[in-house]
């Protein structure tokens, strides 16, 4: 139905807006219908939302149960977990090429009859490679795969479980891929795709976002180059992923444009000394720079 027909029928026309603009408007209390669109064909962009007036001053927005839990856990982390932060740049040029190649090959082969689509996800994401790299690094560094038990000691974990942040309209969830060290890259990808879909549909069971050993959080899709994440209570580390950017680099005696990604590790200093944290992050970086090792 056209905007003119909608007006005659007494129905408000749908607002054309980018997905990021919709999320930002909801969080800022901005009425999209009142925002002039500056994008293509009048589509509302995030820049348009930022320029728009926000909700009336003094308006109190009640806390949702999810937001209340997030606030409590983040406050607990900041109060009780003494973190330090490490950052490295990973050259993911080969990873990008390998991912594109693997996804192209998978798309060319239809799944066998009766095989669940879950086991053959449409694509492997960059996050999947990182989850697998983290699982391998946790296996190699048992002290990182531990948690602090106040007044008792350091508890080594018997599993290698890696959580990943999934943004929702009213907050975020961290579903956990279990036993990542025992899964292939494609199995890790299938598990993360299933968990992401059910997290967005709010169909996860409590057990599926508990028991994480570390968390991966990615803001690269929003153009963020790097950021400092907050460790989830009960875990020892969290890894923040920035945007993959083309940079001019010295490479093998010449100059090339390489694809680089910033990795930022927050680590609990009660458990992990700086040198160990640096070696742990370096292993993740090395695995991402030699991505064939993640497919073995």
CATH number at residue 251: 3.30.559.10
Residues 141 and 212 in one domain: yes
The answer for 261, left when phi > 0, alpha when psi is -120 to 50, beta otherwise, is: beta
Contact 65, 73 (CB under 8 A): no
What span, in angstroms and rounded, lies between the C-alpha atoms of 120 and 110?
9
Contacts of 13 (CB under 8 A, 6+ apart): 3, 6, 7
Residues 53 and 90 in one domain: no
pLDDT tens, residue by residue, 193-205: 999 999 999 899 9
What does the pLDDT read at residue 106?
79
Number of structural domains in the chain = 2
Residues 264 and 137 in one domain: yes
Residues 121 and 261 in one domain: yes
What does the pLDDT read at residue 175?
97
Is residue 200 helix, strand or coil? Answer: helix
Measured distance between the N- and C-terminal CA atoms of the chain, rounded to whole angstroms: 52
269 is catalytic: yes
Residues 51 and 93 in one domain: no
Among residues 49, 3, 52, 51, the alpha carbon closest in space to that of 22 is found at: 49
CATH number at residue 36: 4.10.320.10
Contacts of 95 (CB under 8 A, 6+ apart): 126, 129, 288, 289, 291
What does the pLDDT read at residue 109?
72
Residues 207 and 239 in one domain: yes
Domain assignment of residue 159, yes or no:
yes
Catalytic residue among 78, 202, 269, 293: 269
What does the pLDDT read at residue 114?
60
Residues 36 and 119 in one domain: no
What does the pLDDT read at residue 169?
84
Residues 195 and 54 in one domain: no
Residues 263 and 118 in one domain: yes
Residues 174 and 114 in one domain: yes
Residues 184 and 265 in one domain: yes
Token couple for 93: 């040029």
What residues in the chain have per-residue pLDDT under 70? Answer: 1-13, 54-58, 110-122
Residues 111 and 191 in one domain: yes
**What is the extent of the structural domain holding 23?**
12-61
Domain assignment of residue 257, yes or no:
yes
What does the pLDDT read at residue 7?
40
């Amino acid at each position: 139905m056209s905007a003119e027909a909608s007006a005659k029928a007494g129905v408000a026309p749908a607002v054309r807006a980018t997905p990021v603009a919709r999320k930002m408007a909801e969080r800022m209390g901005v009425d999209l219908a009142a925002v002039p669109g500056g994008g293509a064909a009048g589509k509302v962009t995030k820049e348009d939302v930022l320029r728009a007036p926000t909700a009336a001053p003094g308006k109190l927005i009640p806390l949702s149960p999810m937001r209340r839990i997030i606030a409590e856990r983040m406050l607990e982390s900041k109060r009780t977990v003494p973190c330090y932060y490490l950052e490295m740049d990973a050259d993911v040029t080969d990873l990008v090429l390998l991912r594109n190649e693997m996804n192209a090959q998978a798309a060319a082969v239809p799944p066998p009859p009766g095989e669940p689509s879950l086991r053959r996800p449409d694509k492997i994401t960059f996050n999947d490679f990182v989850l697998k790299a983290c699982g391998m690094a946790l296996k190699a560094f048992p002290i990182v795969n531990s948690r602090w038990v106040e007044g008792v000691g350091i508890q080594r974990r018997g599993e290698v479980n890696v959580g990943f942040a999934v943004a929702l309209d009213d907050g975020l969830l961290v579903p956990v891929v279990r036993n990542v060290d025992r899964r292939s890259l494609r199995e890790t990808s299938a598990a993360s795709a299933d968990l992401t879909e059910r997290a967005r549909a709010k169909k996860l069971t409590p057990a599926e976002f508990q028991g994480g050993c570390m968390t991966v959080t990615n803001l690269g899709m929003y153009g963020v180059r790097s950021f400092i994440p907050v460790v989830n209570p009960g875990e020892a580390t969290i890894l923040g992923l920035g945007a993959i950017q083309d940079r001019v680099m010295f490479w093998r005696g010449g100059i090339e444009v390489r694809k680089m990604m910033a990795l930022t590790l927050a680590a609990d200093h009660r458990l992990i000394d700086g040198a160990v944290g640096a070696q742990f992050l370096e292993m993740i970086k090395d695995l991402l720079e030699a991505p064939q090792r993640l497919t073995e």
